[in-house]
Amino acid sequence: MKNNKRPNQRRIVSFGQIAGWILVFVLAVVLFNRPGHKTTELDYSEFKQKVAAAEVSDLTIAPETIVGMYKNTEGKFLPFKTVRMDDPELVKELSAAKVKFRAEKDNSWIGNILFNVLWIVLLVGLWWFIFLRPQRSDGKSAMNFARSKAKMQDPSQQTVTFKDVAGCEEAKEELQDIIKFLKNPKKFQKLGGKLPKGVLLYGAPGTGKTLLAKAVAGEAGVAFFSASASEFVEMFVGVGAARVRDLFDQAKKNAPAIIFIDELDAVGRRRFAGIGGGHDEREQTLNQLLIELDGFESKQGIILMASTNRPDVLDPALIRPGRFDRHVSVPAPDLKGREDILKVHAKKVKLAEGVNLATVAKSTPGFVGADLANVVNEAAILAARADKEAVENADMEEAIERVIAGPQKKSRIISPKELQIIAAHEVGHTVVARMTRHSDPVHKVSIIPRGQALGYTLQLPEEDKFLTSKSEFKDKLCILLGGRAAEEIVFGEITSGASDDLNKTMAYARKMIMELGMSEKLGPISLPSNEEGEVFLGRDLSRHTTYSQELAKVIDEEIMELIRSSYTRAKEIITNNRVAFDKLVSVLLEKEVVEADEIDVILGLKEPAAPQTDKVPADPKIAQEKKEEPSAQTPEVKQGDLFGDANPS
């Protein structure tokens, strides 16, 4: 293995040497062939003849030499030099011939040094800069391409442990073996067991893959080398492979150690998957990574960890057993996981006594660790902006909505007519959502612009869901089309406010018919989506269908029928509840924001609360029996569940 590394490394160094020597040669040629006329050396007797004939000028008389200009046979003045003789009559002859001259001390040795030595010093300095300076260990020299850019973190400086990681208990359990092996390798070796060489962490962005890798190093107390996969690929072919070799060499010198490569798919994509093969430099880097994984044994105390959001595009040779043996999924956290993550981030924030992180966790299904950290941070910023002593529930709720839909834009001026259209549109979503059985509860409806939406209906599920039924999909389609149906019923005309709703409607309907087998006419079939393409090909180039035109026609008919029936159903729901619909529109125009409890009262789904003379809080057991906590248990907006006007105009 070692014998294979050095020749390639020498080839990269030789490239730098060749470039350096070419530069030195060019500089030497420039120095020795400077533009100008060559100085002619004259005999002293010839010089005297020129003086007598007045064919010299601008003489400089030094103790050892005489230099100046002389006239040649063509009548041109050229520089000359002659050795000075002991001639007392020279000055008189120059005066008689009216030749300009001046005396000068002999400084010719300085000129010789400048001309003959200075350029040597310059070339030596250039040679040092190109060849000796890159050998320094700081890795910052201009020609030091082969050095890895990985950052090494000393064990004594590692502060991240599993206490700082929450919401992924299964992943932490999978990584316990790595920690135990690095702490006590003999425990595994005496039974003949071998630890996996590579551990691949995969999951959605923001789930904490990088944080997990740092926590493993912190728990084990070993050196941690972290690098991004994109740092290996450079403009020169072979540099990526050399950096991979250098990274593993550094890890071996500091064993036991963990090597962590972030975004592995940057160099680990499937080879020869596109037109004309692939990227040569990226593939050479991948090949070298495969060789290094085969070249070290687990007894050396080196563990390679990597993270990716796209495990499906990785090369099969990279993720096979013997290389990345263990694949650890880092999913989005569940309810308990979100609460644990919030507790970790809330340690750095001063919370008011009434803040319940369990309620906040229920309000944020689908949020990953990065989203939850952003919620806590936004809440702290909002509280500080309002000069509060601590973060309150209102700050948390506002922070959740800011993460979901963006900040409020109360300064946006909207005409009364457009405001009525927006209110009717959003109430259409709200009424259909509350009158369908399988929809998520409505948390609030608002006509305050937030982000790109002029208004929004916030639906948040009561619990985490992993499966979606056909009835739930149908209700979702009705809710999406509720805003468009309300516009047509109230104003007799439609606007551009439903553009985002229509895009989502088409996506859901196509998914139901083509991928989930929810068409009674087509039956339980799943057809490839045209939106999916090859790894390295553009979608337009790779689009193809594996079914006939007749089947495509049936698919289109089923999709259109599903959308038409959902639109008709949405119109019927709004028409049947027109009185409550109009009242909710009026209240929304007056208050701008209507919460879940008031929505249910207006729609007749809930009795209005009796006026309270005191402020004694309700018994939580009674509230549980009556099931009246839609606003306290504010569920979450998943991808595509925010039915606001994302692009109304």
CA dihedral 344, 345, 351, 355 (to 10 degrees): -70
Residue 44 neighbours by CB under 8 Å, 6+ apart: 82, 83, 84, 85, 87
> Is 426 a known active-site residue?
yes
Q: What is the DSSP string of 235-281?
A: SSTTHHHHHHHHHHHHHHHT-SEEEEEESTHHHHBPTT-BTTB--HH
- Distance, CA of 156 to chain centre: 28
Do residues 445 and 593 make contact, with C-beta atoms less than 8 angstroms apart? Answer: yes
How crowded is residue 313: how many other Cβ atoms within 10 Å of its Cβ? 16
Do residues 425 and 486 make contact, with C-beta atoms less than 8 angstroms apart? Answer: yes
- Distance, CA of 405 to chain centre: 22
Residue 172 neighbours by CB under 8 Å, 6+ apart: 162, 165, 212, 215
Residue 599 burial (10 A CB sphere; 0-12, 13-18, 19+): buried
Rounded Cα distance between 175 and 307, Å, is 14
Do residues 443 and 634 make contact, with C-beta atoms less than 8 angstroms apart? Answer: yes
Q: What residue has token string 């956290």?
A: 333
Element (H, E) at 4: helix 2-32
Do residues 442 and 408 make contact, with C-beta atoms less than 8 angstroms apart? Answer: no
Do residues 226 and 153 make contact, with C-beta atoms less than 8 angstroms apart? Answer: yes
Residue 142 burial (10 A CB sphere; 0-12, 13-18, 19+): exposed
The β-bridge relationship of strands 302-308 and 40-41 is unpaired
Do residues 364 and 397 make contact, with C-beta atoms less than 8 angstroms apart? Answer: no
Q: What count of residues does the chain have?
A: 649
Q: What is the CA radius of gyration of the chain?
A: 40
In the three-class reduction of DSSP (H, G, I as helix; E, B as strand; rest coil), residue 86 is classed as: coil
List the catalytic residue out of 219, 426, 598, 636: 426
Token code pair at residue 351? 């919370």
Q: Is 366 left (phi over 0), alpha (psi -120 to 50) or beta?
A: left
Rounded Cα distance between 182 and 158, Å, is 15
Residue 356 neighbours by CB under 8 Å, 6+ apart: 393
Element (H, E) at 624: helix 620-626
Token code pair at residue 600? 């249910």
Residue 75 burial (10 A CB sphere; 0-12, 13-18, 19+): exposed
- Distance, CA of 235 to chain centre: 21
Q: Tell me which residues are annotated as active site.
A: 426
